[in-house]
């Protein structure tokens, strides 16, 4: 069974469209919205769509929201979980591509990537953002010998082993790149699949201009620390 985890913070505008598409395309999967303490009608909108909702009592950030989804997946015995943003950036139709890649490669995590092969047609991010992603990508390659291009993509499919790890230990602030290092430290393989992403349908990016520098420093150190941490 597959669980689609949709983390949502003040996402009432774009959420209904994403959820409708998910339910239509994957009737056998279960959809879980993790409402990260939204101030708007995110929770109500999700409930109206008929999906399960976990409301966090306060805004805890994307990492904690995602981990809530993984804990749910673990508690309910799901064998696969997809991370799919509620803002419409991640086209639900492309989940099939992630699944196909996981079936083929047997990787513990498949990342929907904007930078491999045919992924190029879809929405690509701004120049500076791309440079930062390239830097993180090289840093991860240096730290653990894993080649991932779109390290910040939050569009991911993980298997049971990765669910178990993430339910116990998931990075919080800007978790995507660190999660790759975490899995690789547990000896699990990470693969990439080309997907066409769209521009967000509503809401704003979580990273502003000035917090960009903080972001780069924080993630670079975070990656190093995750690499050096003992994995029990």
Contacting residues toward other proteins, per CB under 8 A: 34, 52-58, 60, 64, 67-68, 71-72, 75, 172
Is the dihedral angle over the CA atoms 166, 1, 95, 184 positive or is it negative?
A: positive
**Using an 8 Å Cβ cutoff, are 49 and 158 in contact?**
no
Complex with other proteins: residue 75 or 228, whichever CB lies closer: 75
Complex with other proteins: residue 34 or 102, whichever CB lies closer: 34
CA–CA gap between residue 127 and residue 38 (Å, rounded) = 30
Minimum CB separation of residue 167 from other proteins in Å reads 10
Closest CA to 56 of 69, 45, 75, 47: 69
Helix (H, G, I), strand (E, B) or coil at 30: strand
Complex with other proteins: residue 69 or 119, whichever CB lies closer: 69
Pairing of strands 156-159, 80-83: antiparallel
Other Cβ atoms less than 10 A from the Cβ of 191: the count is: 19
Other Cβ atoms less than 10 A from the Cβ of 130: the count is: 14
Using the 8-state DSSP alphabet, how is residue 211 labeled? H
Complex with other proteins: residue 60 or 196, whichever CB lies closer: 60
Complex with other proteins: residue 17 or 37, whichever CB lies closer: 37
Minimum CB separation of residue 59 from other proteins in Å reads 9
Minimum CB separation of residue 72 from other proteins in Å reads 6
Minimum CB separation of residue 64 from other proteins in Å reads 5
Minimum CB separation of residue 131 from other proteins in Å reads 31
């Amino acid at each position: 069974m597959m669980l689609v985890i949709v983390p949502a913070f003040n996402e009432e505008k774009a959420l209904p469209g994403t959820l409708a598409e998910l339910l239509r395309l994957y009737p056998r999967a279960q959809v879980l919205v993790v409402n990260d303490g939204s101030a708007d009608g995110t929770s109500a909108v999700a409930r109206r769509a008929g999906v399960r909702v976990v409301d966090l009592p306060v805004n805890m950030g994307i990492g904690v929201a995602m981990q809530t989804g993984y804990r749910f997946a673990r508690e309910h015995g799901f064998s696969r979980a997809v991370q799919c943003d509620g803002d419409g950036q991640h086209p639900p139709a492309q989940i099939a591509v992630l699944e196909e890649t996981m079936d083929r490669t047997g990787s513990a995590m498949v990342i929907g990537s904007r930078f491999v092969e045919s992924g190029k047609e879809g929405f690509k991010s701004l120049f500076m953002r791309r440079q930062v992603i390239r830097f993180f990508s090289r840093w991860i390659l240096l730290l653990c010998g894993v080649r991932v291009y779109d390290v910040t993509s939050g569009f991911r499919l993980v298997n049971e082993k990765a669910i178990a790890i993430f339910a116990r230990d998931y990075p919080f602030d800007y978790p995507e790149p660190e999660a790759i290092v975490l899995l690789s430290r547990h000896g699990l393989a990470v693969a990439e699949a080309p997907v066409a992403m769209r521009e967000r349908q509503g809401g704003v990016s979580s990273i502003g201009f000035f917090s960009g520098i903080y972001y780069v420093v924080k993630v670079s150190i975070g990656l190093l620390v995750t690499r050096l941490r003992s994995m029990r």
